[in-house]
Amino acid sequence: MFRKVTSNSAWLVAFFACFVPYLAIACYPFLVSSNQSEPLTLLQGYYLLSTQYAWLGLIAVPFMLLSLLFSVLPPRWFKGVVIAIAIFMLVMLKVDILVFQQYKLHINALMIRMFFEGADEVFGISWMSWLIFIGDVALLVLGLACTVWLSTRLLHSRAKFVLIGVWFALLLSTQAVHAYKNALYDDEVSQFSNNWPLYYPLTARKFIYKHQLVDESIASKNRVELTNVESSALNYPLEPVNVVAKNKQPNVLFILIDAWRYSDVTPDVMPNVSQFIGKTSNFTQHMSGGNSTQAGIFSLFYSLPATYWDSFHASQTSPVFINTLQQQGYRMGIFGSAPLTSPPLSRTVFKNVKNLTLQRGGDSKSERDQEITDEFIQFQSEQSDKPYFSFLFYDAAHGTDFPEPDFAKFKPYWERVDHILLDNEFDASLYHNRYKNSLYYIDNLIEKVLENVDLDNTIVVITSDHGEEFNDHKMNYWGHSGNYSDTQVKVPLYVYLPDQQPAQIDYRTTHYDIVPTLMNMLFDVDADTSSYSVGYDLFDDNESRDWFIAGSYYNYALVGKETMLVVNPGGHSQQFDRQLQVEDDQPVPVDVIRSALGDMSRFYHR
């Protein structure tokens, strides 16, 4: 048995030596950030190539160690187990490539859960996408067969130890480079940290400063960073929010369209909404608090940055706004076309709302949109002496779904969505036309809603959770969750108020402003707005909104009017202009950073 274990272990070493370079070259493409506009320096080129090899090899190490548990098996069986584990790694990294190319983020627990809860609904995976993916994996497995053959040839050669030595040396050197540059507060290499999955590069500032490898006083001059906020138990709201109802208690209706592109609210695409705009306050420079559903909805209802999401989700704390409406006797009608469990709005925003319908039964997004429209019309028609709050969340635009051919107004359009085919060469107009057809359909449903609403006694808020991009920047960004440009965070906002004259408001507003505005319209509030919100009154143009915090699933940004500072996990930050080009000429003012850190920390106990 000892000889068997020794033989299997020796082959595993040879296989690892061959598998790592194959993993780096064949499976995971060379991912230079799409935002890199300047030519690479020599150091950046070395760091990227070497980290690709070294880090993916380090990811492979635990899988190879796991294989040692099976080293007592006969050689043929043992090799089969190792190859099966290697195929699993290849498939997972291939999936991660596709996710990164589409969303500019790596696989995480949230995306895995969303995939299993409804891959087609969330990601739009067609049979063609599956076919292409299976073909790619087949080619990877063929390459793996060659790797197995080569490892057998190197079994008794010292070359395998040379390859492992090179891998280890590159691992040490790249981490040393990162630690040194990090101590200088220089992002020459750290700007690429998001390129690789599970990558948490080495930092050693205290050690470097202690041993005077870098002069700390000189390094501190380069310091422009946002460190992660230390979180503890929530302190929300900061003080009790007591309210007294005003004489007139109107209904409140929120109509949201998931992934609604602000530039597509035109009489051609959305004739009914466009006509209704003339009766509303039209906020032309309105920004969501995020580029994803989770961040956008959170910022809307909590009026807080999405960096608080994990804490609110963990504690299942519902927002002051919804709590207040319920305490004041409002009937709650929550109608979500997409599941309220992904993201888990049922455990956050609507935690205290009884009898929630968590998931609809229609066969398509357009059918479910029709279903929630019918249910809302029935709900609001019920006789009651109590006002209602209702939330309608349309999903067809998110999935570019519409009844064909009745609503196929914009042609030619992409007849079958295959996200795997999207790249910089793809004709964006085909995809965009399909999206506009879905908006045209939703517009028809909203017309039915508005026809049945008592506008003399109802506040209507029409907006979205985030925007939608169709490769506008020619950087292969499609959809949302990829960046913080206007295409992904700027959204329509139309607020209808009974007995108030329509207006067009051209100064910047944000999702953080909606709840404070409504709270003060509906109630006499015995608490300062800042005790539960970071927003202001929508109609107050004296407040400065030059910067706001926008969130996503894994990072956040300080978004200004001409520039944005994107902060990735670990605290590394990078500044871009509105066209997503790297911008270093005008650093974000220190007082802006200080204010943002305050907003992201003051609702925690200290």
- DSSP run (H or E) holding 80: helix 75-103
The pLDDT, as a whole number, for residue 234 is: 86
Give residues with Cβ within 8 angstroms of 61, minimum separation 6: none
Residues 250-544, CATH architecture: 3-Layer(aba) Sandwich (3.40)
Q: Express as a percent the part of the chain with pLDDT over 70.
A: 88
CA–CA separation, 596 and 527 (whole Å): 22
Token pair in block for residue 74: 């006969």
Token pair in block for residue 540: 């107050």
Q: Give the burial class of 456: count Cβ atoms within 10 A of its Cβ; 0-12 exposed, 13-18 middle, 19 or more buried.
A: exposed
pLDDT score of 34 more than 50: no
pLDDT score of 183 more than 90: no
Q: Which region among 79-83, 270-274, 364-368, 474-478 has the lowest average model confidence (pLDDT)?
A: 79-83
Token pair in block for residue 483: 């960046």
- pLDDT tens per residue, range 430-460: 999 999 999 999 999 999 999 999 999 999 9
Count of beta carbons in the 10 Å neighbourhood of residue 369: 32
Show the DSSP H helices in 385-509 as ranges: 428-452, 486-489
β-strands 478-479, 494-496 pairing = unpaired
Which residues make beta-bridge pairs with 550? 557
Q: State whether residue 399 is helix, strand or coil.
A: coil
The pLDDT, as a whole number, for residue 110 is: 47
Q: Render the burial of 477-487: b for 16+ CB within 10 Å, e for the rest.
A: bbbbbbbbbbb
β-strands 331-336, 242-245 pairing = unpaired
Handedness of CA 11, 17, 20, 22 (dihedral sign): negative
Top-ranked range on mean pLDDT: pick from 128-132, 203-207, 297-301, 479-483? 297-301
Residue written as token pair 């920004």: 287
Handedness of CA 257, 300, 110, 57 (dihedral sign): positive
Between 579 and 186, residue with greater pLDDT: 579
CA–CA separation, 532 and 236 (whole Å): 7
At residue 217 the predicted structure's pLDDT band, cuts being 50, 70 and 90, is low
User: Rounded to the nearest 5 degrees, what angle is found at the Cα of 479, between the Cα atoms of 474 and 482?
Assistant: 75
CA–CA separation, 75 and 559 (whole Å): 58
Q: Which region among 120-124, 236-240, 268-272, 409-413 has the lowest average model confidence (pLDDT)?
A: 120-124
Looking at residue 312, the DSSP 8-state letter turns out to be H
Between 43 and 410, residue with greater pLDDT: 410
Say if CB 316 and CB 351 are below 8 A apart. yes
At residue 32 the predicted structure's pLDDT band, cuts being 50, 70 and 90, is very low
β-strands 469-470, 242-245 pairing = unpaired
The pLDDT, as a whole number, for residue 228 is: 47
Give me the mean pLDDT over the 59-68 stretch.
86
Q: Tell me the average pLDDT of the chain.
A: 86
The one-letter amino acid at 225: E
At residue 318 the predicted structure's pLDDT band, cuts being 50, 70 and 90, is very high
The pLDDT, as a whole number, for residue 220 is: 57
CA–CA separation, 4 and 24 (whole Å): 30
Token pair in block for residue 55: 């880090």
- pLDDT tens per residue, range 156-174: 788 888 888 999 999 999 9
Q: Which region among 133-137, 328-332, 368-372 has the lowest average model confidence (pLDDT)?
A: 133-137
Token pair in block for residue 305: 């940055």
Give the CA-trace dihedral at 208, 210, 213, 217, to 10 degrees: 100
pLDDT score of 518 more than 90: yes
CA–CA separation, 11 and 8 (whole Å): 5
pLDDT score of 224 more than 80: no
pLDDT score of 6 more than 70: yes
Token pair in block for residue 391: 């939330």
Q: What is the 3-state secondary structure (H, E, C) of 184-245?
A: CCCCCCHHHHHHCCCCCCCCCHHHHHHCCCCCHHHHHHHCCCCCCCCCCCECCCCCCCEEEE
Per-residue CA distances from 200 to 29, 205, 550, 569 (Å): 19, 15, 23, 9
The one-letter amino acid at 414: W
Task: At 506, give phi and psi (nearest 5°).
Answer: -105, 0
- DSSP run (H or E) holding 256: strand 251-257
pTM listed for this prediction: 0.73
The pLDDT, as a whole number, for residue 499 is: 87
Count how many residues are written for the chain: 606
Give me the mean pLDDT over the 38-44 stretch.
81
The pLDDT, as a whole number, for residue 350 is: 97
Task: Report, in angstroms and rounded to the nearest whole number, the Rg of the chain calculated over CA atoms.
Answer: 27
User: Rounded to the nearest 5 degrees, what angle is found at the Cα of 400, between the Cα atoms of 121 and 568?
Assistant: 70
CA–CA separation, 425 and 195 (whole Å): 22
Give me the mean pLDDT over the 270-297 stretch.
97
At residue 261 the predicted structure's pLDDT band, cuts being 50, 70 and 90, is very high
Give residues with Cβ within 8 angstroms of 78, minimum separation 6: 8, 11, 67, 70, 71
Phi-psi region of 246 (alpha: psi -120 to 50; beta: other; left: phi over 0): beta
pLDDT score of 115 more than 60: no
- DSSP run (H or E) holding 251: strand 251-257
CA–CA separation, 19 and 146 (whole Å): 10
The one-letter amino acid at 298: F
pLDDT score of 313 more than 80: yes
Residue written as token pair 């999935």: 399
Which residues make beta-bridge pairs with 354? none
Between 221 and 554, residue with greater pLDDT: 554
Task: At 127, give phi and psi (nearest 5°).
Answer: -65, -30
The pLDDT, as a whole number, for residue 242 is: 95
Say if CB 224 and CB 588 are below 8 A apart. yes
At residue 570 the predicted structure's pLDDT band, cuts being 50, 70 and 90, is low
pLDDT score of 127 more than 80: no
For the chain, the domains span 1-222, 250-544
CA–CA separation, 358 and 135 (whole Å): 36
